[in-house]
Structures are given as structure tokens and as C-alpha cells.
A and B are shown apart, each in its own frame.
Chain A
Amino acid sequence: MTPHSTDQQAAGAGVAAAAPSKAAAAIEKARREGRAALIGYLPAGFPDVQTTIDAGIAMAENGVDLIEIGIPYSDPVMDGHVIQEATVEALANGFTVPRIFDVVEGITRKTDAAVLVMTYWNPVMRMGVREFSERLAAAGGAGLITPDLIPDEATEWLEISEELGLDRVFLVAPSTSPQRMQNTVDASRGFVYAVSVMGVTGARTSVGAAARAVVDAAHHAGAERVCVGLGVSSSAQVREIGAYADGVIVGTALVAALRDGGVQAVAELTRELSTGTAKVSGGGTA
């Protein structure tokens, strides 16, 4: 495992040889506006591709800074019931992996939001890491969030993402050791995804103290941007987490809103969530 700290720092300073980090740019823009970035997740193809595009645009128009689009996968071990049910339905409705690029392009053509793809690794491996990456870049995608790929196994992805200027968002967790935290922060590009609790996706009333400790550890290891996900569903939680993190990721609550009230409900929830992003104390944390 070769840490890419030099490249990562270059990307953060905006002087990388490859394209600058789209995720970093989106988070830094929010920071300049005195906010934590708001990141919204939806699975592609739920209930169909066009709805995902419309809902993504609605999120961007109502206060989301980054959009995370998940690839429905047969074995989503990090997802709870709501997202699993949505992805099962997407697959039943005929979603195929190459359509992820239609979703990404459909959103990036209409908005300025950075669009990341969240995917378990096997679909990428099956298509080929290079082909997948090139098509993602061509569609205007910012990069990948990889819940079951750790930097230790990511040699090929590290090389290709560096070459194409794609963001590499790895996860860190409350259980992550200091050494692994350092390696993961060094290998990441764009931001580091801090898992708030030991568990899978799904709305929780509280994300607890563990999240703050993970964010602090990541910052301490040199991460410039750390965003918190898992269990966040209300503007109050966004406000609480936004006080110490650089961005807040909401997934399950938005998926449930789409399921129950369509694109309009996604727009409304996004607006509500975005009221929580203003930094009470002002200024950045990094």
C-alpha cells in the first residue's frame, strides 16, 4: 500500500496535474459560505432512471452540494432495510449498471452539484476498473464512494483515479485504528467518509458521540474534509454534526421521502435539511 499523500495534498491545494477534485471544490464552496456541505444519497433506478435524475436535480436545486448515487447491488452488506428494498426494486425494474452513467450525466448536465457514485466493488471489477472510471469521468462524475473497498485492496483504483482525476472516498469507522486512519486519509481524495456508528445505513434518532471522535481522528490524521454519514435524517442532526464535520450525508431519509412522496418530497426534505448546515460558530474546522 503506497500512501498517495503527496498527490492528495496537491489535489487539496488545487494544483494537481490531473483534474482538480470536484468533491473538494463543492465542500470548499460551502465552507466559504460558512456552511457544512450537504450530501444527499439516492439509489439509481429507483423507481426508474428518469426519476433518479429528476430527484438528483431537485436535491441540487434545494440545497444539496454533493449528490451520491448508489448502484443497486445484489449483496449490499452495509445497507439497512429501506435502501435494500429500494435497490431490490430498482433491479426488479430492470436497472443495469451501465445506466449509472446516464444518471450521472443527466444530473451533471443540469446542475453544478458534484456527483459521486456509491458502489460495492464487484460491479466495478466486473466492468473493469479502467472502463468504469473512464465512462464515469466522461459522464461528468466526480468519483466513487466505496463501502466495501479498503485502500489495501485498491491498488488499481488508486492508479486509475489519480490518472483521471476522480475522487476516492474511502470510509473510516469508530473501530478504525490510528494506523489505518492515517493510511485511509492518505489514500482518499475529495473527502473522507466518517461512519457515525457501528452499523448499517438507516435513520437513527441520535448518531452519538462516536461520530465526533471519528471526525476528530480523521482531521488529526490530516484530512482536510471529513463528512459524516449513517443515521442522519433531520435538520437538527445536520446542525449538530455540521458543527464539527465538513459535510453531512443523508441517505435513508431521502430514499424514504422519494418512496413515499416522489420528487416533490425529496425537494422538500432537502430544503428542510439544508436549514441545518449553517455553522453556528462560523468558520471551518480544518
Chain B
Amino acid sequence: MTDMHQDTGLTGADAGAADAIDAGTADAFLSHDQSLRHAPGPYFGAYGGRWMPESLIAALDELQDTFEKAKADPEFTAQVAELNKNYAGRPSLLTEAARFAEHCGGVRVFLKREDLNHTGSHKINNVLGQALIAKRMGKTRVIAETGAGQHGVASATAAALLGLECVVYMGAEDTRRQALNVARMQLLGATVIPVTNGSQTLKDAINDALRDWVANVETTHYLLGTAAGAHPFPSMVRFFHEVIGDEAREQILEQTGRLPDAVCACVGGGSNAIGMFHGFLDDRGVALYGFEAGGDGVETGRHAATITLGRPGVLHGARSYLMQDEDGQTMESHSISAGLDYPGVGPEHAYLADIGRANYEPITDAEAMAAFKVLSQTEGIIPAIETAHALAGAMKVGQRLAADLGPGEKASDKIIVINLSGRGDKDVATAAGYFDLLPDDSVEQEIAQEGEQL
């Protein structure tokens, strides 16, 4: 609760530019052979912890204990590896994107293809791991929250695979807008409960999932979808996503013989980014960039740029940056991307921001959609709109790298790795509506206006 963090929160808008952040603290870590990797929690600097009702502490203790033992159990890690390989389709590819790179100042760009995983995004890594943990605890039921439906679909998938009952909480408004994702979860055998409390958004879906958990904790595991929440969730969700960065690091070394200059990812709660960053945390020469949803622009107040403009607070069990008003009430976030539309962020990101190890910048809806189109038309890959934020950010980073070359350096000497966290099939209606591609009288037009993400 020091003033330092609040100041960082207030001046965060200026902290976007890499050189504006004092990297002294991160350097201090890295220059003394200390590692930032595998941070166990519960605290990440001043962030994290367990700001939770006492009723749930025993369940968090049980989860932590089970997770710690599982991590050390070769049988468990082999189980995870087997599912990753033969069910999710790992390792995901690392694809060089030469035509897209022309829009990034001419630096070399590589895409970590999480979009090629089963269910189409990185989310499968976490749900498989947590569903296995649930089984180890003897739980027969998992509950999950979802915004647009991606984590709900992934949870329903893992539950179906492992024979667990699955209940998904989803804002009532979202269940109407995302009717096809509701159907998808139901096809997978899950029950979807529309949440009518509060603002009826993702944060309220989390609130209702927590209420369910308090009442049913004996039989139920809360399969939280991002690297946020109370300990051990942030470090556990990161653990299951570390495979992204570990693979990417090995692949970039294999393909180029060196580490990248920068790694880019989008940040909502921050699970894909923390999984990707983790592989490179101790590589001092690799700059890490997280791109938050700038919505209509951070100056409009309609955004989800939590680290950029939020202030430290507690929500859903963790202390972290938070979009809140002067009374400490959680504010509504806004983004064209449902997956980034959350007023909080994982505590490890808050810490990495404060110590200057990672840089966080906002990307507006318009910038993201422009990058969405560029990648689709230069590489034949339609990205998720969430991922498009990372692509737009990488375009800026590449142009900065190209503008800042040393004597004798060429842009093509520089390398960026982008986490392509998900595919955009679900976003086709939104994108078609955004780019005005639908005839006025089409059913799809009507759906797109309501924000349906197919």
C-alpha cells in the first residue's frame, strides 16, 4: 500500500513508451543471478494474495496443496504432456510472417500459433491442467465464468473429456449475444447459467461463480479462466501456460539461432501473456510487451486498459491494478474484444509493470481491427480480435525498433515474437459488421450488430 504503486497507476498513461519505465529494479533482479521465473506466489511484489471470504480459504489451501504435489509428480506432468500433445495438438507452430513483417518496420516477425490448438486458442492449456487437478482432488463438478464464451467452451471441452459435470456462469446479456457459444457449451454437455446480478458482465459472472463455489466447495472446483484471482490461481494458471513461452523460446532459437528483441502479447486478465512472457523473463535482452484493450481510446473512459490507467485495489481475490472509481467501486470496462473486457488484471503483470520488466500499452479498437485485417490479408490467418491487439502493438514495436537502429544494423536483424493467442473464426460476424461486409438485409447483419461472435 505504498504510494509508489498509486503513483505508477496515475502516471501509467505515460509509462507506455518503453524508455519511460525505470527498468532499474528488473535489472537488479536479473544482474544478480536472481530469477523472475516460477514466482510461486502468493505475492508478486505488493500484488496477489488471498483477498477472499474465509469460507473459501480451506478450498484454496486444498487447491494449493494438490497443485504443489501434482507439479512434483512425474505421473501428473506426464499426463499433462500427453494431453497437450495428443489432444490439444502441441507443440504449436512458430510461423515466420514475412508479409505481415513489412507492416512492422521490416523487422522479422514470428507468430506463436496458439490458434492451432484444439478449441482454437491458448485456453485449452489451462483447462486441461485444472480439470486434471480437479480430478486429483476428487471433485466431480467444475464451474467456470465466461464473457463471450471462449473459456466456457474450453472448460466444457475439458469437462467432457475427463467426465466432470460442468456449469458455466455467463452474463445474461452475453448469453443472448453469444447464443451460438451457449449452444456450443450445451452441445459439450455443460449447463449455462445466465447471470442477472449487478452489471451482468464477466465480473458478475465471476461473482456468481464464487457464490456457487462457497456453497458447493465440497464437490466443486472453480476452473478460473485467467491468471488472476486468489492464490494459487495466478501461479497455477501461469504454470499451465508456461508451455507457450518454453516452446517459443526453443523454436526461435532453432529457427534463427538467437533470442528475439521483443515478445508481444495481448492482456486482458493476462493468461496468454504471462505464459508467453515466462519463457523469456530472465533473458535481459528480450523486451516484453503486453497490449491492453484501449477501447474507444483511454481518454474516453471507455476502455479496459487496467495497468495503463487503473489503480491498485482488490477484486476477485487478488490485489492488482483495477479499474475503479474514487469510492473503490469496480468500473465497467469496454472493448470490442470480449476476451479483454475485464476491469482487472493478473497480479504478476502488475508486478512486472511496476519493476519495469514488461511494458504495457493500450491499443484502441480501431488499431486492433486494422491489424486484424492486415494479418488476414498478408498471412492468410484470421486472428481473434483479442490477438489483434498484440498484432497492432507489434506493428508499433517493430516500427520503433526499425527507427532506432544502431550503426550498421538493418531492420531485418531485429526479431519480434508475437503470441497468436487465438483464431478469429468466432469473430467473423463482429469483423464483418465492423468492416461493413454484410448486406443490409442479411441475418448475419442483424447478428453482427448485436456483437455476436460466431
Interface residues of A in 239-276 (CB under 8 A from B): none
Name the residue on A nearest B330 (C-beta).
Answer: A74
Distance in angstroms from A91 CB to nearest chain B CB is 7
Assembly CA distance A177 to B214 (angstroms) = 15
Interface segment among B134-142, B268-276, B311-319, B444-452: the answer is B311-319
Which residues 50-90 of A have a CB within 8 angstroms of B?
73-78, 80-81, 84, 88
B55 touches A195 (CB 8 A): yes
Q: B207 to A77, Cβ gap below 8 A?
A: yes
A122: Cβ under 8 A from any B Cβ? yes
Evaluate contact between B328 and A122: CB separation under 8 angstroms: yes
Known contacts A84-B198, A122-B314, A195-B55, A129 near B324 by CB under 8 Å: no
Contacts of A170 in B (CB 8 A): 54
What B residues does A91 contact at CB under 8 A? 329
B433 interface residue per 8 A CB criterion: no
A73 touches B329 (CB 8 A): yes
A97–B326 Cα distance when bound, in Å, is 9
Closest to B209 in A: A77
Task: Collect the chain A residues with CB atoms within 8 Å of residue B328's CB.
Answer: 73, 97, 122-127
In the complex, whether A147 has a CB less than 8 A from a CB of chain B is yes
Q: Are B326 and A126 in contact (CB under 8 A)?
A: yes
The verdict on A152 contacting chain B, using a C-beta distance below 8 Å, is yes
Quote the shortest CB–CB distance from A184 to chain B (angstroms): 7
Interface flags for B324-358 (1: CB within 8 Å of A; 0: not) read: 10111110000000000000000000000000000
B203, A75: Cβ atoms under 8 Å? yes
**A144 at the B interface (CB under 8 A):** no
Residues of A within 8 A of B315 (CB): 75, 122
* Contact between A198 and B217, CB atoms less than 8 A apart: yes
Asked if A125 contacts B198 (CB within 8 A), the reply is no
**Contact-size category for A:** 35 or more
B58 touches A175 (CB 8 A): yes
How many chain B residues touch A (Cβ–Cβ < 8 Å)?
38
Q: Is B215 interfacial (CB-CB < 8 Å)?
A: yes
CA distance A149 to B214 in the complex (A): 15
Return chain B residues, CB-CB under 8 Å to A174. Answer: 55
- Alpha-carbon separation in the docked complex, A272 to B211 (Å): 30
**Is A150 an interface residue, CB under 8 A from the partner?**
yes
Residue of A74, A78, A150 near B50 (CB, 8 A) is A150
What are the residues of chain A within 8 A of B314 when measuring CB–CB? 121-122, 125, 148
Taking a contact as CB atoms closer than 8 A, the residue among B1, B214, B313, B327 that contacts A199 in the complex is: B214
Q: Does B327 contact A96, Cβ atoms closer than 8 Å?
A: yes
Tell me the complex Cα distance, A175–B59, Å: 8
C-alpha spacing A237/B50, complex, angstroms? 33
Q: For the complex, give the distance between the alpha carbons of A30 and B318 in Å.
A: 39
Report B-chain residues with C-beta under 8 Å of the C-beta of A122.
313-315, 322, 324, 328, 330
A109 at the interface (CB under 8 A from B): no
Q: Which residues of A contact B61 (CB under 8 A)?
A: 177
Question: In the assembled complex, which residues on chain A have CB atoms less than 8 Å from the CB atom of B326?
Answer: 126
Return chain B residues, CB-CB under 8 Å to A73. 328-329
Asked if B438 is at the interface of the complex by the 8 Å CB criterion, the answer is no
Q: What's the least CB distance linking A85 to chain B, in Å?
A: 9
**Closest chain A residue, CB of each to CB of B204:** A75
Expressed in whole angstroms, the Cα–Cα distance for A115 and B179 within the complex equals 47
- For B203, the chain A residues whose CB sits under 8 A away are 75
A278 at the interface (CB under 8 A from B): no
Other than the given A150-B57, A180-B57, 7 more pairs (CB < 8 A) read: A74-B330, A75-B204, A77-B207, A124-B328, A126-B328, A129-B1, A152-B49
- Shortest Cβ-Cβ A-B pairs, 8 listed: A126-B328, A123-B328, A175-B58, A173-B55, A199-B215, A97-B327, A74-B329, A122-B328
